[in-house]
Amino acid sequence: MSGKTNLQDGDGRVSRVIRVGTRKSQLARIQTDSIVEKLKGLHPDVNFEIVAMSTTGDKILDTALSKIGEKSLFTKELENALEKNEVDLVVHSLKDLPTVLPVGFTIGAVLKRENPHDAVVLHPKNKGKRLDALVNKSVIGTSSLRRAAQLKKRFPHLEFKDIRGNLNTRLKKLDEKDDFSAIVLAAAGLRRMGWENRISQILGPEDCMYAVGQGALAVEVRARDRDILEMVSVLNDSDTVLSCIAERAFLKHLEGGCSVPVAVYTEVKNSQVYMTGAVFSLDGSDSLKETMQTSISSDNQTEEQEKVDEKVQRVGITALKVSGAAQDAAVKLGVDLGNLLLSKGAKEILTVARQLNDAR
């Protein structure tokens, strides 16, 4: 594998080279740099090289994401490089990764989650306002069916229109034209870019529940590279891993993706994972929402559960150093919550949403 590439320095010392794949956008580079810095601190003798590339999702900018119908819009090219041994690990936003990864790949680390909520960024002329104070028929930019469905129901006086492009592009479209009164973006990306001052409102779960995996960074590796898997596993944040495993299991069980409005809100407290999951019609008029919880405490594990293998891949994640039994409990939580919504008619809501989106 290319991770075994070695470099010789001027003193004749040999150092290992590890190539890290990333998208080319400024945000992707910031996110990747932060992970490489952490790895450098842990492995000062390793030479980390960043390899940036464009993905399909970066190139198709005139179509709503939900209409393109490709599950791996922002990941395919990076995974191709991983498969060809051109890179050894890849940094993603976890929400871009499908719940089933191509054979041979796994998510070896899920880092501590940044604020997972959505944020409102206003056109300069609306400075200081909130969504409920915007004038009738104000146009809000978002390319997310999930956001639009929830916000249409919550703020019926507003209109919603697709906006594509990376963060820089979308902010430029907002500021330099009069097409949008505001846009809705993930708070995590704005914070990582250092643009917190542009956030006028953080949308709590009562206004807009977030996407599965939102706010968390993931490191994807080749499943067979046990040494790389071991190296990145120290980056795992246990609470984030368990929350995101539950969320991904929920989404997978509903057979959801970016072409249907599915949303979550997860909290870990007192050794319990609490997860609220919801599905919506495209206009938000029809919805189902339920909350369930599970214990992830090691105190009440049986001897059998303690033997559960943490090396097993769960919804695309191999989280070494995180209790296998707790991971299994998180998967079960997601599946159980999915089943509860399906028993109440979630499949019908999502089928209609998918058909209507395809027909748009």
Cα separation, 121 vs 157, in Å, equals 18
At residue 260, the pLDDT reads 86
The CA-atom distances, in angstroms, between 316 and each of 98, 107, 108, 319, 350 are: 8, 6, 9, 10, 23
Residue 84: closest CA among 108, 105, 61: 105
Percent over 90 (pLDDT), the chain: 76
Check residue 259 and give its pLDDT.
Answer: 72
Tokens 């009164």, residue? 181
Catalytic residue among 33, 58, 62, 96: 96
Report the predicted TM-score, pTM, of the whole model to 2 decimal places: 0.90
Task: Give the count of beta carbons closer than 10 Å to the beta carbon of residue 199.
Answer: 17
Q: For 143, which DSSP code?
A: -
The span from the CA of 128 to the CA of 139, in Å, is 17
Q: Over 60: is that where the pLDDT of 71 sits?
A: no
pLDDT digits (tens, 9 = 90+) for 226-238: 999 999 999 999 9
- Please confirm, yes or no, whether 358 is among the known catalytic residues: no
Task: Tell me which of 43-47, 253-257, 278-282 is least confident.
Answer: 253-257
Alpha-carbon dihedral sign for residues 183, 187, 189, 192: positive
pLDDT band at 359 (very low <50, low <70, confident <90, very high): confident
Q: What is the pLDDT of residues 293-305, one digit of tens each?
A: 999 987 655 555 5
| H-type alpha helices, 118-272 | 145-154, 167-176, 187-192, 226-233, 238-254
- SS3 percent helix, strand, coil of the chain, rounded to 5, is 40, 25, 40
Quote the DSSP letter at residue 125: G
Mean pLDDT to the nearest integer, 72-91: 86
Q: What is the pLDDT of residues 151-210, one digit of tens each?
A: 999 999 999 999 988 899 999 999 999 999 999 999 999 999 999 999 999 999 999 999
Whether the per-residue pLDDT at 61 is higher than 50: the answer is no
User: Distance (Å, rounded) from C-alpha 128 to C-alpha 216?
Assistant: 29
Quote the pLDDT of residue 130.
Answer: 95
The region of weakest confidence among 111-125, 250-264, 267-281 is 250-264
The answer, yes or no, to whether residue 60 has pLDDT greater than 50, is no
Percent of the chain residues topping a pLDDT of 70 = 87
Instruction: Give the pLDDT of residue 206.
Output: 96
- How far from 88 is each of 37, 72, 222, 334, CA to CA, in Å? 16, 19, 7, 30
